[in-house]
Structure 1
Amino acid sequence: MEKSKGNPIALLPFIIFLVLFLGTGIISGDFNKMPVIVAILIAAGVALTMNRKAPLNDKVEIFCKGAGHPNIILMVIIFLLAGAFSEVAKGMGAVESTVNLTLSILPQNLLIVGLFVIGCFISLSMGTSMGTIVALAPIGIGISHQTDISIALSMAAVIGGAMFGDNLSIISDTTIAAVRTQNTQMRDKFKTNFFIVLPAAIITIVILAFLTMGGHAEVAKHHFNILETLPYLAVLIAALCGVNVMIVLTGGIIFAGAIGLFNGSYHWLSLLQKIGDGVTNMQTMAMLAILIGGTVEIIRYNGGIDYLLYIVTRKIKSKKGAEFSIAGLVSLTNLSTANNTISIIIAGPLAKNISDKYQIDPRKSASLLDIFSCCWQGFIPYGAQLLAAAGLASISPVSIMAYSFYPILIGICGSISILVGFPRFSPSRSKAKLNEKEADIKV
């Protein structure tokens, strides 16, 4: 019985990681001062020095097994392909055309509502909240300059829309991590997650419409090419149809590249360069996933995971309690690391153990991981999203928090979904999903 409680000392590498990453950010005021890859390397080194009873060669082998787990390696490949697609699509004009297309059809008296909706669509298509913020923040700033609408409110609308897709997009690294760690299908996670957060999006639209009622500005119409928006649409449709994620992303790269060659954005060498740039942009995230996988495996071997499970689950008496523990686990991790992808990669294996023990459907556990990580990531003033938007608008990130309706609302909707048991899954179908070995490699 005592053995099941695990070993709290085994968590030392994880504590060191948080102290280095979070502590440096708090002291310096800049959470980018300590490179996260360096923090996890130091934590991994500490993990390998622990448990002197085990030979170093054995611990290195355990580390490599964790780092090379099929789920981790497939996640890495998907990260790299997603980065390549995002860069190729952006380089051939897809982002600009998508933004301009949506702006051209917006009612002029619903600009902030439209800004939020555009953000939802672009982030859902691009799979990146940061890319959406960089694309839309200048438009939000321009709208505020032409009206009496607060710049902080405009930036909050942009961030809310960006977090919508960060939470749901099939090429978002947070979604990929949540699906992979919970061994479920992207399509099923999307459907489950979408219906949980849809009320939050609708309420946000209503609030923004009420706050900006009477605001009006003439925004110049910009050029767009409908052909350039097709790669995003094709990827989204293919993903929702259940096509294998590798095929979806590879096809998206080829499709976007072909359009770029056709419209003159690329010649074949520059296209290859863009693909390389996209892969390079995701290398840190890929290496981070590998190093975290190995470090977690060492912590597991030393009893740290058993201890965490004991602490998190010792007062759980129901399935709802287990779901709240998953939500709390990823929330605390995200508040500590200020990175929703990292928080899911760290909390994911623990959440999987909890969901297996308390028979939580993997679609629900994956959704909870993604929802609550994005909830806090879109709200904390030291997160990359608020810092980027505030920097572009030359305002304090704290001023944006007062208007961060969507991130808080998805947390509320996630909590309500736990309390009311929504959505309800077919027991037989859920069991079949858990036993479906190939399910986790499909979109």
Structure 2
Amino acid sequence: MSNQENTTNVSNKLKSFNVFVALVPLTVMIITMLYSVIVLDVDPHIPLIVGTATASIVALYAGYKWHELEDFMYKGIRLALPAVLILLLVGLVIGSWIGGGIVATMIYYGLQLISPTYFLVTILFICSIISLVIGSSWSTIATVGVAGMGIGLSMGINPAMIAGAVISGAYFGDKMSPLSDTTTLASGLTHVDLFEHIKHMFWTTIPGLIITSIVFYIIGLNVIGTKTAHTKEIDEMMQAMQTHFVISPWLFLIPVIVLMLIIFKMPAAPALFMGALLGFLSHLFIQGGTLASAVETMATGYVIESSNESVNVLFNRGGFMDMMYTISMVIISMTFAGIMEYSGMLSSIMQYILKVAKGTFGLITATLASAIFVNVSCAEQYISIVVPSRMYLRSYINQNLAPKNLSRTLEDGGTLSSVFVPWSTDGVFILGTLGVAAWEYGPFTILNFTVPLIAMILAATGIGITKISNTEKDELLERIYGDEKNSTTSTDL
């Protein structure tokens, strides 16, 4: 009998683990992650490898063979391949749109909208738009956010309020942008079309943005400042962009074309590829770049050397190579998740959790809590999406809930809660960039704590929750898991 046949036979019979034994790999991974990220200040890849090794040891002790564990890891990686493809295309789009001047044009005209009178609301929407365009909260915070801090402080506004508006806007755009790696991760790992995932997030995120806007508008009316701002930082950024790019409102046609393709239901991959192609042509024929530079930009990213450091930070990025850090972490994460899921360890943990998480409200609340817990324990936003996605996907489908409910909840809890953890990569980055600590800006990061609350309200009322029929449930289980069932052997560690 071949290895493949052996693997198939065993993978259809998940072993039953004691919940405390099943939690050992997760606990080891979390402890290793905490020590590595917080104490050693290193990347989270090695802790994930340690977690995978621990999960392998536990599974071997339960009676699995090594070739079976290899198959579990391969299955986990295969589940992430759609997300990896989109991430590669996103890298192409970012690189080509920067090289083609599309990003510079949108930022240039966006910066002109800053008004001292309604500063907090203005900076909220500017950060939202720019982050939506470039798909990166960090780049938005590091550039426009830093400039906004300088302007707001010159008006006498509380720095925590400014930081709250910047962060709320930056993470709104990051969450809703098809160019964001967290957005593509959440949709890809749950087998949801990227734009369907974004559309479904409107239910929680748009009300959150409206509430945030109202609160900052009210706060702005009561802020007493000089009513004038020193816009030197903004002027320098705009001048630097004019020096290095051809700025033209005609370049807005490129994102409009891509948006129209999306509206007319073109799948994410070809729509993004068309966006990358248009950016590539813009780099050649509008910006006057060479063929070699345009190709190199799509591969390794755009390179700019200006006298303005904020412009350098914003535009020195893109290309599919820029996505390799995230992709490598996704692959390692999915080897860990593959062993945890296909060995039966995740199933044992889920059975324990689902004794408490009853119905739609309980399942969505448990997902939110799990994502937040992973952010607190692992200090890493990506892991808060990867781990719960594999833990809860089957349970959502089994309870006749469309997977897009899960993808939305992962972002509501995982993407947004990371800013509240002072020792997380996001919290440390914001402190170093804006000079404001998490416990200071936390109360003013209104979007980030409003959206999870809205998600719980929708779960309790059933509003904005998409159900699936039993036929659709069976089709999804067959498509995602093949012939695998929830059956378990009698073996219990």
- State the TM-score, normalized to the length of structure 2: 0.80
Match of 1:325 among 336, 342, 366: 366
Match of 1:251 among 261, 266, 274: 274
State the one-letter code of the partner of 2:282: I
- What 5-or-longer segments of structure 1 have no aligned partner? none
Could you list the structure 1 runs, at least 4 aligned residues long, displaced by more than 6 angstroms after superposition. Answer: 436-440
- Could you say what the CA RMSD is over the residues aligned between the two structures, in angstroms? 2.8
Mapped partners of 2:351, 2:468: distance in 1: 27
Match of 1:23 among 35, 39, 63: 35
What is the Cα deviation at residue 283 of structure 1?
Answer: 0.9
Give the corresponding residue for 1:112. Answer: 120
Match of 1:384 among 418, 422, 425: 425
Asked whether the equivalents of residues 178 and 194 of structure 2 are also in contact (C-alpha less than 8 Å), the reply is yes
Mapped partners of 2:461, 2:392: distance in 1: 20
For each residue in 1:257-303, what CA deviation from the matched residue of structure 2 results, as whole angstroms up to 9, or x when unmatched?
Answer: 21122233632111222222222221121122122222222223433
For each residue in 1:354-406, what CA deviation from the matched residue of structure 2 results, as whole angstroms up to 9, or x when unmatched?
Answer: 20222222222211111111231232223333433332333434322232111
Matched, 1:127 2:144: no
SS at match of 1:360: coil
Q: Higher mean Cα deviation, 262-271 or 350-359?
A: 262-271
Number of equivalent positions: 432
Give the corresponding residue for 1:281. Answer: 322
Matched, 1:166 2:174: yes
State the one-letter code of the partner of 1:313: L
Instruction: Using the aligned pairs only, state the percent identity.
Output: 20
SS at match of 1:415: helix
State the one-letter code of the partner of 1:377: S
Q: 1:300 and 1:432, CA in 2 relative to 1: closer, same or farther beyond 3 A?
A: closer
Give the corresponding residue for 1:341. Answer: 382
What is the Cα deviation at residue 197 of structure 1?
Answer: 1.9
Structure whose CA Rg is larger: 2
SS at match of 1:261: helix
Matched, 1:374 2:397: no
Give the corresponding residue for 2:315. Answer: none
Q: 1:96 and 1:390, CA in 2 relative to 1: closer, same or farther beyond 3 A?
A: farther
What is the Cα deviation at residue 321 of structure 1?
Answer: 1.4
Asked whether the equivalents of residues 167 and 374 of structure 1 are also in contact (C-alpha less than 8 Å), the reply is yes
State the one-letter code of the partner of 1:186: L
Mapped partners of 1:123, 1:116: distance in 2: 11
- What 5-or-longer segments of structure 2 have no aligned partner? 1-13, 301-318, 481-493
Q: 1:39 and 1:205, CA in 2 relative to 1: closer, same or farther beyond 3 A?
A: same
What is the Cα deviation at residue 407 of structure 1?
Answer: 0.5
Q: 1:47 and 1:358, CA in 2 relative to 1: closer, same or farther beyond 3 A?
A: same
What is the Cα deviation at residue 204 of structure 1?
Answer: 0.9
Give the corresponding residue for 2:219. Answer: 211
Mapped partners of 1:328, 1:380: distance in 2: 14
Q: Higher mean Cα deviation, 58-67 or 328-337?
A: 58-67
Q: 1:367 and 1:393, CA in 2 relative to 1: closer, same or farther beyond 3 A?
A: closer
Asked whether the equivalents of residues 200 and 413 of structure 1 are also in contact (C-alpha less than 8 Å), the reply is yes
Mapped partners of 2:383, 2:211: distance in 1: 29
What is the Cα deviation at residue 247 of structure 1?
Answer: 0.8
Q: 1:336 and 1:150, CA in 2 relative to 1: closer, same or farther beyond 3 A?
A: same
Asked whether the equivalents of residues 184 and 433 of structure 1 are also in contact (C-alpha less than 8 Å), the reply is no
For each residue in 1:2-54, what CA deviation from the matched residue of structure 2 results, as whole angstroms up to 9, or x when unmatched?
Answer: 965655424433322211111333445xxxx1211122122223333341433
Q: 1:265 and 1:113, CA in 2 relative to 1: closer, same or farther beyond 3 A?
A: farther
Match of 2:449 among 398, 408, 430: 408
Give the corresponding residue for 1:179. Answer: 187
State the one-letter code of the partner of 1:387: V
Mapped partners of 1:279, 1:113: distance in 2: 34
